Amino acid sequence: MSLLSDLVNLNLTDATEKIIAEYIWIGGSGMDIRSKARTLPGPVSDPSKLPKWNYDGSSTGQAAGEDSEVILYPQAIFKDPFRKGNNILVMCDAYTPAGDPIPTNKRHNAAKIFSHPNVASEEPWYGIEQEYTLMQKDVNWPIGWPVGGFPGPQGPYYCGVGADKAIGRDIVDAHYKACLYAGIGISGINGEVMPGQWEFQVGPVEGIASGDQVWVARYLLERITEISGVNVSFDPKPVPGDWNGAGAHCNYSTKTMRNDGGLEVIKKAIEKLQLKHKEHIAAYGEGNERRLTGKHETADINTFSWGVANRGASVRVGRDTEKEGKGYFEDRRPASNMDPYVVTSMIAETTILG
């Protein structure tokens, strides 16, 4: 095993100019992350200088067998924490050979919204709080839980310390450092209310880069759990009953919200979100109705509400924002399995262009 480990960790920079580029894309379910690697002649830092590539869409639920070629367009580059050196991770989106975005390509429409002059001039910032649950590999049950049984009730686990409370911290810390190495704007991590559940935050990041970074952070987490022999679940309610669900709260601000008088702009934006509550809920993640029950720090899925420092509301405004009269707000409705391209661009579209 030591020889295998040595080869996996081999530094290529002394031996060759060539690099390995891992192309990453989103599969047909909208949550399955796919990737494959190719050799390039030398280091690349600009996505537009990378070659397009293709894959078999009939094997990812994105094309018919008789016309299965899907084209990958490189969009963002990150350093590869697994291969290190000059090797890179490449976030891509997917198109037909004719150049049309395939139906599951949510990035294309998001990029159009973020490139709208009215949106671009507002410099929208996002902070995504991505919750997830670490699951035992052979049974669909959180790590640290007795198979077929339950741990003690919620209370000691949130930001807890100790082997019986912080379950899976080695995976979480490995992921934290991998994100920082890759160039992702990860801003923190914490243990969550349900044992085996954790959260990482990405942001503040502007515009389309927020979606790119959250997707690559998810990819890194999938890879690290793969190495660790556990599964990661982004299900919004992985365990039924008196256990917290998993969300992806979206903190949001625009330039005018961050400037003096911004609180009034925030209130107007929240009013716009209220008018489109149903449309946003429909796009905020599958199975979210199991999470948004009005219990466990959520608002009921059918009712829009907002408040200052209220974690039982659809939208929360922080005390600091209220006090300073400017800042940001938090949309608490998105589920952990939401598409960050969809959520970030939809919030911008509703609040700026609506």
For residue range 191-234, list pLDDT tens digits in order: 999 999 999 999 999 999 999 999 999 999 999 999 999 999 99
- For position 256, what pLDDT does the model report? 98
Question: 349: alpha, beta or left, given left = phi > 0 and alpha = psi -120 to 50?
Answer: alpha
**CA–CA separation, 109 and 117 (whole Å):** 15
Mean pLDDT for the chain? 96
Q: Band the pLDDT of 264: cuts 50, 70, 90.
A: very high
- For position 309, what pLDDT does the model report? 85
With 0.95 as the threshold, say if the pTM is over it.
yes
- For position 148, what pLDDT does the model report? 86
- For position 1, what pLDDT does the model report? 59
H or E element in which residue 233 lies: strand 230-233
- For position 122, what pLDDT does the model report? 98
Q: Band the pLDDT of 312: cuts 50, 70, 90.
A: confident
pLDDT tens profile 159-174 = 999 999 999 999 999 9
Examine residue 204 and say whether the peptide bond preceding it is cis (omega within 30 degrees of 0): yes
Please say whether the beta carbons of 122 and 255 come within 8 A: yes
Please say whether the beta carbons of 338 and 284 come within 8 A: yes
* Angle formed by the axes of helices 169-182 and 208-228, nearest 10°: 140
Q: Band the pLDDT of 61: cuts 50, 70, 90.
A: very high
**CA–CA separation, 202 and 215 (whole Å):** 10
Query: Which residue in this structure is represented by tokens 């490139």?
Result: 115
H or E element in which residue 340 lies: helix 340-348
19-28, 192-201, 288-297: least confident range: 288-297
Q: Band the pLDDT of 66: cuts 50, 70, 90.
A: confident
Please say whether the beta carbons of 276 and 284 come within 8 A: no
**Domains, in order of start, for the chain:** 4-104 (3.10.20.70), 117-353 (3.30.590.10)
Burial class (CB in 10 A: 0-12, 13-18, 19+), 241: exposed
